[in-house]
Amino acid sequence: MNPFLNPVTGLPFIKNFILDPGRLRRLNHKQMERYRDKVLRKAVKYAYTVPLYHKKYKKAGVHPDDIRGIKDITKLPFVTKKDLVENFPDGVIPVNYNKDNAYVASTSGSTGKPVSIYTDFSTMAKAFGTTVRNLQIYKLNWRKTRFVNIGTYLPGRIDMALEEGFYSELRAIFSSNRYLRINAFEPIKEIIKKLDTFKPDIIYTYPVTFQHLAFLKKKGYGKNIKPKLLVSGGYVLDEYTRNYAEEAFGCKMLNIYPSVESCADVAFECMHGTWHIQWDFFHVEAIDKNMELVSPGERGHIVITRMFGRGTPIIRYTGMDDWVTLSPIYKCNCGLCTPVIEGGVEGRIGTSVVLPDGRVFPSASFAIVSLVLKDLKTHKVKQFQIVQTKIDEIEILLVIDDDLRDVAPSVDLIFKKIKEAYEKKVGPDVKITVKEIKEIKSPPNKPAPLVVSRLKPEDRDKFIL
């Protein structure tokens, strides 16, 4: 039976669908605190039935009754990526959990061995509230909006799990032809042909995919593609790619911060550029290298707690590996009042640039190429990538648009300005090389990252002060 027609699963969906999207605007601060305390207690109680969490909580001497609300969350131990990997499959779900009605979703493994978790219809249905909320905030109706997700539709990946476990069932009920899924690793010209036929209102995909699509759009492909909004997620979006795509498609591009492990968007960027945390769905913390909480306004390693759903609990999970700077309640001009991620997510720790003097630059803060190209007022660079080959050697790889090669500014000037900008940033002890290449290749079934570090973890870590 379609889960939307089953009262056991369908009625909770209807209730959540009505209540969840508007909660950020509906509840005042005290009401939201009470709500968060309630859902955290429920999440911890559920986690206690899961062998991994049960063992950790027993060892830490903490019981669900000790957690009365968010203020008590620091009593709970952290859960790492290694914990999930080593305890999968049976240790990450309750003993009596029915796997037959569940789906396995795995990360890409970009920072090591992939993490796999269990999710199910009830979790995906609840998470759908974050998607509907985002559309409402962007003033778009989810029933009328033509939406394209260019994602990783491969067995075991979250996009495929969501398709099989939720969206296919949703379309069967609403007979919607307004949603199109495309595998991001199809030939880019095939993707743009599908977009041209579908005529989407929203396109959601990786930054590098937008870069390639925007390049073709500028060359005259996809004349019928006139979206209202572009949404980027999964990797760091640099300002050059954002401006390049916005100019090509004639609309705004915004970020979301999705999490495979929690099956939902942890945060989203509003039209005013603020990254709002979905704090009725998630509790977000930031820690330093000693696993101590950092103060608001200080950069740290993100820690996520999902306060809804079944399957594999995600409570005080440190495995996202991203740098963030958190700010407490912020009243935005968009009307929302939430905790925020200042300046957005800065990229993965493992792909940060580490200098000999101990300075660490996350991906977003090291994309100086964007600033140089903006100052030079040029879109001559199709794509770029930063590669740290040694602790004191960094390569800046550029792909040049041949059709614009002879248009000012010259390629030589671009190279010169980029080299000077990075030398000023890193200092005299690091060698900067700017190189032109024909193509930046993506790893198998993964988008090309903005920053690549070839340092071994142990070599990188010993330089961090």
Q: What is the pLDDT of residue 339?
A: 97
Q: What is the pLDDT of residue 322?
A: 92
- Which letter does DSSP use for residue 448 in this model? P
Domain boundary assignment for the chain: 7-341, 349-461
Using CA atoms, how far apart are residues 271 and 73, in angstroms rounded to an integer? 32
Two tokens, residue 38: 């309630």
Using CA atoms, how far apart are residues 261 and 30, in angstroms rounded to an integer? 29
Selected from 3.40.50.300, 3.20.20.105, 3.30.300.30, 3.40.50.11540, the CATH number assigned to the domain covering 349-461 reads 3.30.300.30
Q: Which CATH superfamily is domain 7-341 in?
A: ANL, N-terminal domain (3.40.50.12780)
Q: Is pLDDT of 182 > 60?
A: yes
Q: Is pLDDT of 456 > 90?
A: no
Q: What is the pLDDT of residue 157?
A: 87
Confidence label for 172 from pLDDT (cuts 50, 70 and 90): confident
In this structure, the strands spanning 229-232 and 202-205 are parallel
- Which letter does DSSP use for residue 90 in this model? G
Confidence label for 388 from pLDDT (cuts 50, 70 and 90): very high
- Tell which residue, 120, 418, 107, 408, has the closest CA to residue 234: 107
Length of the chain in terms of residues written: 465
Q: What is the pLDDT of residue 461?
A: 63
Instruction: List, in sequence order, every beta strand (DSSP E) within 288-364.
Output: 299-306, 323-331, 337-341, 353-354, 360-361
pLDDT tens digit sequence for 53-88: 999 999 999 999 999 999 999 999 999 999 999 999
Mean pLDDT to the nearest integer, 413-423: 96
Inter-CA distances, 288 with 73, 110, 117, 325, 382, Å:
17, 21, 26, 11, 36
Using CA atoms, how far apart are residues 191 and 189, in angstroms rounded to an integer? 5
Two tokens, residue 21: 């999207």
336 touches 355 (CB < 8 A): no
pLDDT tens digit sequence for 206-245: 999 999 999 999 999 999 999 999 999 988 899 999 999 9
- Tell which residue, 336, 318, 316, 314, has the closest CA to residue 268: 336
| Fold: same for 7-341 and 349-461 | no
Under 8 Å CB-to-CB from 376, ≥6 apart: which residues? 409, 413, 414, 417
Q: What is the pLDDT of residue 32?
A: 97
Using CA atoms, how far apart are residues 345 and 343, in angstroms rounded to an integer? 7
Q: How many CB atoms lie within 10 A of CB 138?
A: 17
pLDDT tens digit sequence for 12-29: 899 999 999 999 999 999
Cα Rg of the chain (Å, integer): 22
pLDDT tens digit sequence for 261-283: 988 999 999 999 999 999 999 99
76 touches 59 (CB < 8 A): no
Return the residue matching tokens 């911060």: 257
Using CA atoms, how far apart are residues 255 and 246, in angstroms rounded to an integer? 13
Under 8 Å CB-to-CB from 301, ≥6 apart: which residues? 286, 287, 288, 289, 318, 321, 322, 323, 324, 349
Task: For residue 395, give the H/E element and its range.
Answer: strand 393-400
Q: Is pLDDT of 387 > 50?
A: yes
Q: Is pLDDT of 178 > 50?
A: yes
Task: For residue 124, give the H/E element and its range.
Answer: helix 121-137
Q: Is pLDDT of 289 > 60?
A: yes
Q: Is pLDDT of 460 > 70?
A: no
Q: What is the pLDDT of residue 465?
A: 43
Q: What is the pLDDT of residue 177?
A: 80
What pTM value is reported for the model? 0.90
Q: What is the pLDDT of residue 463?
A: 57
381 touches 420 (CB < 8 A): no
Q: Is pLDDT of 378 > 70?
A: yes
Mean pLDDT to the nearest integer, 22-49: 97
Confidence label for 462 from pLDDT (cuts 50, 70 and 90): low
One DSSP character per residue, 155-211 reads: TTBHHHHHIIIIIHHHHHHH---SEEEEETTS-HHHHHHHHHHH--SEEEE-HHHHH
Mean pLDDT to the nearest integer, 320-349: 92
CA angle 294, 300, 301 (to 5 degrees): 120
Which of 79-93, 155-169, 172-186, 364-378 is modeled with the greatest confidence?
A: 79-93
